Chains A and B, each alone.
Chain A
Amino acid sequence: MTTFAIQGRCLSTPPPLDWREQLAGMLGAKPRRIGNWAELGLYGALNCLAEAGEKALPPEALLLLGSRRGTYVPTGQALEQMHDDLPMPLTFLQTQPSQLLALLAAQMRWRGHAAFIAGGTPQALLQLAAAQCGSAGVLLGWVDEMEGGASLWLRLKPCVIGGEKPVVASAESMFSLDATHLYVVGNGVQAT
């Protein structure tokens, strides 16, 4: 079993109306041409780190990002552009989910192990994190822009002692204000 303590979180489902202004404030400037999905991801990740009291991840930490639909909007745009021409270079870049990992790394001035996992569930993402992360823990995100948008992030660090009476965790309970610890037990995830 792996036990994680939740050190910080961002639970924006949907994000506040002024999230773009907030993001511009955090970045020091309005982000340019990175696409809505990536902006949403940056917004949540930076908020989560701020709540955890970190400006950047430690080099040994893991960054894992998941999504149900990811970059489907710019992908649709790129396919439209390809009816009679090549896609616009920046539109094509926005179709690549891993660009968000690079943007986050650049923003944090961080270099380390990061990966995008397409589809699945937040619980499955946490199981991958438990297998791969060391003592520096993981910044785990789930970002989608359907249905008003969601930017859900947890800053998790492995710990020895958790809470009492863990219960099976749904995606909702993983990303809730009530949770203090998450547990990866076999093929399941629990929370207290």
Chain B
Amino acid sequence: MTPVHIAGRGLACSLGLGVEQVLASLPQLASHAIQVTLPGAMAGDYPYHAIPFSRSDWNERARELVQRVAAEAGAQQIRDGVLLIATSSFDIGAVERGATQMDYQAFADKVAAWLDWGGPVHVVNTACTSSLNALLAAQALLRSGAASDALVLGIELDNRLTLGGFAALQLLSRTGSKPFGEHRDGLVLGEAVAALRLSTRDSALWRLAGGANVVDGEQPTGASVRAVKEMCAHAFADSAVAADAIDLIKVQAAGSPGNDAVEAQGLRETFKHIPPLVSLKAAMGHTMGASGAAEIALLTACLERGVWPLCENEGDAELGVTLAATMPQNVRRFMATILGFGGSHASVILERA
């Protein structure tokens, strides 16, 4: 099967602009969330991971961030390739400010114009799993020969609707993100723009081996154990790797009391020996539709540069899983998992080429 390489990456998140700045900020994770005040029944302050980049105009800020991140990933080399935009919120922040109308195609056209994109454009919205599903679609398109290059662009930017909706559903933490933590009490959301450039022409350090997405309608706002297990099994099959060949799992672990427990149980029932686990949510927040691309961009950089996120909160012994305090040695192959709204469970496997 035609190998699909991660030939470039770019990232903007609360830790900084560009992979290098994010890596440099990673060990100081405690200081990066700001407080956002919400009105109404769930009124109060909520921690939020905002990108440290200000512009008065929403569209102008989005344009600069998208162009910067895409350029970092080398998108200018592949403007005739396939662009897959992954988002759960589109440009709703601009709609809230009266700067545009809610229109999917207008959003796609706007982003494509920012990048002077000439190839096909698809907008994938499967809520939190959007980026991973965009990766799976990109891999399929590249393997089919429809294109040689693709850019997966996760965009999740400041808007009140997502924060307000999650607050209304009582899914947000007021204290901070505690992945797999004993005192976890909800999600901390964040902004990110992340780009992964995929290529069947350019070889690179990391190869996308495969993955899977399983939608289970049993829990429309959460995860199910059976779907986590099926997701893992399908991802192994699609990647032609065995469970014991996985050296590291980047878990969803967003700090949700229920979902973290479901994910942990799914992992316990899938793996005879659970590999080392890592979560990036405490560092950058849960960046929703951008999270898959953002966390892969950061994790691959971490593994290459020997940087590891701090793991400050006390783990929940009842979960039977723990996050790795230090970087595991010789990671050749890792899984990256995102679980999300709409009962979507997605995971991809990357391996060193």
Contacts and interface: CB of A to CB of B under 8 A. Distances in A.
A116 B126 contact: yes
Interface of B: 38-42, 88, 90, 92, 95-96, 102-105, 107-108, 120-127, 133, 136-137, 140-141, 143-144, 146, 160-161, 164-165, 167-169, 212-218, 220-221, 226-227, 230, 340-344
B127 A96 contact: yes
A106 B214 contact: no
A87 B124 contact: no
A96 B126 CA distance: 8
Contacts of A113: 136, 212-215
Contact of B221 (A75, A85, A93, A115): A93
Interface string A90-125: 001101111101111111001111111111100010
A110 B214 CA distance: 10
Given A115-B213, A128-B122, A131-B140, A98 B344 contact: yes
Interface of A: 63, 67-70, 72, 75-76, 78-79, 82, 84-89, 92-93, 95-99, 101-107, 110-120, 124, 127-128, 130-132, 186-187
B344 A86 contact: no
Given A96-B341, A99-B341, A131-B146, A86 B217 contact: no
Contact of B343 (A70, A79, A92, A105): A105
Given A75-B92, A87-B161, A118-B123, A98 B104 contact: no
A59 to B, nearest CB: 9
A120 B122 contact: yes
Contacts of A120: 105, 108, 121-123
Contact of B220 (A67, A102, A131): A102
A68 B109 CA distance: 13
Given A86-B165, A111-B226, A111-B230, 7 more contacts: A75-B95, A84-B40, A87-B168, A96-B127, A115-B126, A118-B124, A187-B146
